A and B are shown apart, each in its own frame.
Chain A
Amino acid sequence: MSKLVDIKGLTKNYESITALYNVNLELESGHIVGLLGPNGSGKTTLIKILCGLLHPTSGSVQVDGHDIGVETKSVISYLPDQTYLDGNMTIRDIFALFVDFYRDFDINRAFNMLNILKINPDAKLKTLSKGNKEKVQLILVMSRRAKLYILDEPIAGVDPAARDFILNTIISNYDPSATILISTHLISDVESVLDDVIFLQYGQIALHASVDEIRSREGKSVDALFREVYRC
């Protein structure tokens, strides 16, 4: 397996607050990885650095052999934890934008998924319900043939039916040669699809192991271990 993400000695400070401290992490291609941790543990900071939305204070970050930049942005498909598209755009316009900027965007796949959901492609994004907005954003992200998918809280704030759709979309569109990094609090919902988990605590990696390893070594589920590690 090739090294897709290579992070060495990563530290990120916000003035006097250290969000990440000396993080070392390697991710290989072909895994679904859960990035887990309580609020303020550094998950979003790590994701933002991988996506080029933040600069590290020190350390190096490489994706697919490149420092963060235009090359890495073209192989990362990122789903933020909020609506990030212009509400005045129609879904068709947004698809056109993705076709223009991402060579790996499969527009037929996107329209097929939209068709299954019976969402009108000529509808403006602002006219859709919160759940449908989330689904459209997920369709955009999963219709790319990216090397690394980064999904920040993809199932937070949606009803259980929408949650099932989102997880099914992730699994059914998953290219086994790619890696998916999922940040979430809802561990029990995603545990069944994860290969590996990363526990972040106080800006450092507390655990990086495969789900099978945790189950055999600890004799408990990832959800149970998470509750134990982060007990208040």
Chain B
Amino acid sequence: MLGKLLKHEFKATWKYFLAIDAITIVLGIIAGIVGYAVAGKIDDFPPTLIILLTLGLVGYIFALVSASVLTTVFNVVHYYRSLYTAEGYLTFTLPATTTEILSAKMLVAVIWQVIMALSLATSVFFLAGSFFLYGTVHGAIDIQEFFGDFWYGIMEMLGIAGVFGTLRYIVSVIMSIVFNMLIFFFSISIGQLWQKHKILGSIIAFFVTRFVMGIFSFVVNMMSGAFGMLLQNDTDPGRYFSHTTVVSLLISVVASVVMYVASIWITDKKLNLD
């Protein structure tokens, strides 16, 4: 049954998300072409053209942020509408368990968020890549030097150097997406406990959950970073983040599991569609 639910969830959402993702990537390609064309020539441009290019770059960044926000908003609205409005009368009378229904919706939402993150990365890659390509073609960037000490230094500082570090980083990004989406879903479930003003209840629940999780993560990360450095006798403050990554990951995994189980339990036991 989960397979059928996933199929219909994708069917109901793919048009909107793929359109946003495609626009994001196309904008990156356009920005990359423009970037390559203007790289190294900026000093020769008249002020009006520089202003136009700056506005174009600002517009591009704004478009990327909008695409990301739009994806999240659409995911959250679709989740709410298909479960807790009149559409819920169909959703919850399908011959499937509440766990299957909610899991399918959450999983598809997370997949679209991951695809959005990849689209953003691809878009930025085209823009950054155009300058990198220009630099290597015109001898301004030494590839060996760039991917040697400089790149490794950044990766090491962030605690994501090497195969294990990269894998850990990818898992952290996915887990962060899961965690952030689950805060929305969990808050929506909490909002259902209100007899009236369920949307307001969800919004309040969202901010309270965010605040509590933020404080908790901050304190635990501070402690783990400091303890990690003390235990390993590490005196380089630049490596502080490498000690907190695993702890952050663990916090998001545990919190996500709790919110996932709670969302299903509340919906299963307390559902009351208006």
Contact = CB atoms under 8 A, between A and B. Distances in A.
Contact of A80 (B12, B86, B270, B271): B86
A101 B95 contact: yes
Interface string A26-44: 0000000000000000000
Interface string B210-225: 0000000000000000
Interface residues on B, range: 20 to 34
B8 A52 contact: no
Which of B12, B87, B93, B96 has most chain A Cβ within 10 Å? Answer: B93
A14 B87 contact: no
Interface in A39-88: 48, 51-55, 69-71, 73-74, 76, 78, 80, 82-86, 88
Contacts of B89: 53, 78, 80, 82, 84
Contacts of A14: 195, 272
Contacts of A48: 273
Interface residues on A, range: 20 to 34
A93 B89 CA distance: 17
Nearest to A137: B90
B248 interface: no
B87 A100 contact: no
Contacts of A70: 1, 95-97
Contacts of A97: 8
B82 interface: yes
Interface string B116-146: 0000000000000000000000000000000
B86 A82 contact: yes
Interface in B237-258: none
A228 interface: no
B269 to A, nearest CB: 6
Nearest to B3: A100
A52 B93 CA distance: 7
Contacts of B86: 80, 82-84
Given A70-B95, A70-B97, A73-B95, A53 B273 contact: yes
Interface in B257-271: 269-271
B contact patch SS:
loop
Nearest to A14: B195
A53 B93 contact: yes
B11 A73 contact: no
B272 A86 contact: no
Contacts of B97: 69-70
B271 to A, nearest CB: 7
A56 B160 CA distance: 52
B4 interface: yes
Contacts of B96: 70, 73, 101
Interface in B1-23: 1, 4, 7-8, 11-12
B12 A86 contact: yes
Given A53-B88, A73-B93, A86-B87, 9 more contacts: A15-B195, A53-B273, A70-B1, A71-B95, A73-B95, A89-B12, A101-B4, A101-B94, A101-B96
16 contacts: A48-B273, A52-B92, A54-B271, A69-B97, A70-B1, A73-B93, A74-B95, A80-B89, A84-B87, A84-B90, A86-B82, A86-B87, A89-B12, A93-B11, A100-B7, A101-B4
Interface of B: 1, 4, 7-8, 11-12, 82, 86-90, 92-97, 195, 269-273
Q: Which 4 A-B pairs have the closest CB atoms?
A: A74-B95, A84-B89, A80-B89, A73-B95
